[in-house]
Structure 1
Amino acid sequence: MAQEAINLTRALKGDNKTQGNWGEVVLTRVLEASGLREGYEYETQVSIENDARSRMQPDVIVRLPQGKDVVIDAKMTLVAYERYFNAEDDYTRESALQEHIASVRNHIRLLGRKDYQQLPGLRTLDYVLMFIPVEPAFLLALDRQPELITEALKNNIMLVSPTTLLVALRTIANLWRYEHQSRNAQKIADRASKLYDKIRLFVDDMSAIGQSLDKAQDNYRQQ
């Protein structure tokens, strides 16, 4: 736990790329805890060419039953939150808090412009999940600016933290479990139907053979 705290501190003090990498690490842990399997129910760093022939690379694409997809973005930066967390006076803390809120709002707008829903080959839901990898940073922003949720929704984005994302992913894992059970039940029903058809044909054949034998026996008796 101590090492993880050190890693988080380093990530918060790092540049945007370092923070993005930390967000991806936390996201990977949440995905692993959800019960979903990489390469089956979700994929990472998939490169897709958009209509303008530039390449887009969502952090994670979660597959849903019935061919739907959910995109998760983990590139939110938390430089301002780090300053808020380590502030030694109220003025610095309040200033950093306002920067943190502005950073969340700015990322909402940038993510909305990416328009992941329109990428060829994806059948996404209406909303992209914007992952804020540090729970207190997520709660702090929404506590001070609850309207961020509405602003995000207007941009077809849902804000999620490690806790809320895990709940959503486990729900998806349960949907897949029911889907697999349904498919298995259908396979069993199909096999049972085929077995029944074979048994019925066998019984019909045996009945026909029996009738032929009876007819042959009657002919023999009449001779």
Structure 2
Amino acid sequence: MIWLYALIGLLVGFALAYLFLRTRQMRNQLSEIATLQGQIREREELIEGLRETHLADARTLATREEQIKQLEGRIEEQARQFEASKEDLAREFQLLANKILEDNSKKFTAQNKEGIDAVLTPLREKIKEFESKVEQNHRNETEDRAKLKIELENLLKLNQRLSEDAQNLATALKGENKTQGNWGEMILQKILESSGLQRGIEYLTQASYSDHEGRRVQPDVVIKLPEEKHIIIDSKVSLTAYERMVNAGNEEERSQFLQAHIQSVKSHIKGLAEKSYEAIEGLSTPDFVLLFMPIESSFAMAIANDQDLYNYAWERKVVIVTPSTLLATLRTISSVWKQENQHRNVLEIARLAGTLYDKFVSFSQDMDQIENRLNQASSAYQSARNKLIDGRGNMVQTALKTKELGVKSKKEFGDQWLPQEQDDQESLNSAE
């Protein structure tokens, strides 16, 4: 009987030990489940942050597209106004030319035809030159509108391609700071080439300048603006810590590399601010420079985890831009340059129109002088003729009387110089 009790006690002990171990194992599993759930929540929050960043970028892109559409509408309206102004000027020039020619055509004679041609030929050439400039401006506007439409269609594709290229090259470039810098400048150059700006005219790359202390400085890009203004762009690439953060094996490493990535961006901001590009002699720039980050996701990760990053940069007179925001900014500057060039063309046309009008006025004044000189010549001719032939006691009549009195001569006056009475008398004598 004792052995039976001992057996039962042994079984009860085993059962209690099993329950104790099982309970302890379940507590460990519950702890691991709680840890995994926390990690899942963190991943979901990260995904949600990235989704919000993507939506914000999409809204920004939509806003830029709307701004570009509005700009295109203004360009078309200016083109219509320019076309209407061109037609009005052409009508006014035609009416003015017709009026001048109509007022003076009756006064032209065969003797002054060559002189008139000499006056009209330069005027005709100026009119042709004016018409050529107007037609060329119209063709340029038509071509610009067609190019703008094509570039708008390619804007999204270009932005996506730049982002994909940047992401694909990130792994190959990690750890090579010099290679990263060269690659960032290459991406910046591709954006500049796609912006519509003209290299060497509307922007300069790697240009050398001197600051107020005589030190040589060389910004990556200097964007020229109308009225002799400039914007400076420097490319900065932060990939090493970012790549390590993406590939981190645990949350602790990820947090560590994320802070290192943010610190790298801040270091670039601080270094760019210390260059004091706004103090360069010969450049008229705003109080800030543009820091170009070629990888959208790298910037999005930094700003999502340090919302004060924008203020940190702005306090140091630095504005951060990415491929999408920089391309939209440069396209806007390109449109501003096109409007500026159109404005200059309009001013040139107005100058030519003023010159043409002045020549018309000078031409009409010359015609008045020609008329006065012709009237003076006609008056002088009539006065001389009266003294010679028509007037009382004229020279021809006096000379004929001396001949009648016996003065001998070998020559005779032509019929056109004889007085009318003398001419009629000689005709009667011939008839007899």
TM-score normalized by structure 2? 0.49
What's 1:70 paired with?
Answer: 231
Q: How does 1:180-219 map to 2 (within 5 A)?
A: 180-219=341-380
Q: CA deviation at 1:75?
A: 2.6
Higher helix share: 2
Aligned residue pairs, count: 222
Q: How does 1:1-223 map to 2 (within 5 A)?
A: 6-11=168-173, 13-221=174-382, 223=386
Q: CA deviation at 1:6?
A: 4.4
Q: CA deviation at 1:141?
A: 1.1
The CA distance in 1 between the partners of 2:275 and 2:362, in whole Å, is 60
The CA distance in 2 between the partners of 1:125 and 1:4, in whole Å, is 29
The CA distance in 1 between the partners of 2:165 and 2:279, in whole Å, is 40
Q: CA deviation at 1:15?
A: 2.1
Q: CA deviation at 1:7?
A: 3.2
The CA distance in 1 between the partners of 2:243 and 2:210, in whole Å, is 35
TM-score normalized by structure 1? 0.92
**Contact in 2 for aligned 1:58/1:71 (Cα 8 Å):** yes
The CA distance in 2 between the partners of 1:189 and 1:9, in whole Å, is 58
The CA distance in 2 between the partners of 1:155 and 1:14, in whole Å, is 27
Q: CA deviation at 1:220?
A: 4.3
Higher strand share: 1
User: Greater CA deviation, 130-139 or 203-212?
Assistant: 203-212
The CA distance in 1 between the partners of 2:292 and 2:166, in whole Å, is 19
Local SS of the residue matching 1:88: coil
Structure number with higher relative contact order (C-alpha < 8 Å, ≥ 6 residues apart): 1
The amino acid that maps onto 1:61 is: V
The amino acid that maps onto 2:271 is: L
Structure 2 unaligned segments of length 5 or more: list them: 1-160, 387-432
Deviations 1:142-192 (A, max 9, x none): 111121111111111101111111111111111111111111111111111
Q: After the TM superposition, which parts of structure 1 deviate over 4 Å for at least 4 consecutive aligned residues? A: 1-6, 218-222
Structure 1 unaligned segments of length 5 or more: list them: none
The amino acid that maps onto 2:292 is: F
The CA distance in 2 between the partners of 1:148 and 1:6, in whole Å, is 26
The amino acid that maps onto 1:163 is: S
**Contact in 2 for aligned 1:20/1:77 (Cα 8 Å):** no
Identity %, equivalent residues: 43
Local SS of the residue matching 1:70: strand
Q: CA deviation at 1:53?
A: 3.2
Local SS of the residue matching 1:52: coil
Deviations 1:77-99 (A, max 9, x none): 32111112222332222221111
Deviations 1:17-66 (A, max 9, x none): 11111110110111111111110110111122223333211011111111
